[in-house]
Amino acid sequence: MAYNNQEIELKLSISRSEYKRIEKELYKVAKFLRFSHQVDDYFTPTQNSFLDEKYPFQWLSTRKRDQKIYLNYKHWHPEGRKYTTHCDEYEVEVSDENQIKNILIALKFQKITTVEKKRSVFLYQKSLEIALDQVKDLGFFVEVESVKNFGSVRKANKEILKFTKSLGLRGTKPVPGGYAAESLRKKRLLK
pLDDT of residue 30: 98
pLDDT band of residue 171 (cuts 50, 70, 90) is low
Residue 1: predicted pLDDT: 59
The pLDDT confidence band at residue 5, using thresholds 50, 70 and 90, is confident
Among candidate residues 191, 43, 158, 20, the one with its CA nearest the CA of residue 112:
43
| Percent residues over pLDDT 90 in the chain | 91
Pairing of strands 68-77, 58-65: antiparallel
User: For residue 18, is it left (φ>0), alpha (ψ between -120 and 50) or beta?
Assistant: alpha
Residue 66: pLDDT band (50, 70, 90) is: confident
Region 180-187: mean pLDDT is 94
Q: Candidates 3.30.565.10, 2.60.450.10, 2.40.320.10, 2.60.120.650; correct CATH number of 6-186?
A: 2.40.320.10
- C-alpha 62/C-alpha 41 separation (Å) is 5
Q: In whole angstroms, what is the distance from residue 74 CA to residue 90 CA?
A: 7
Mean pLDDT on 162-191: 89
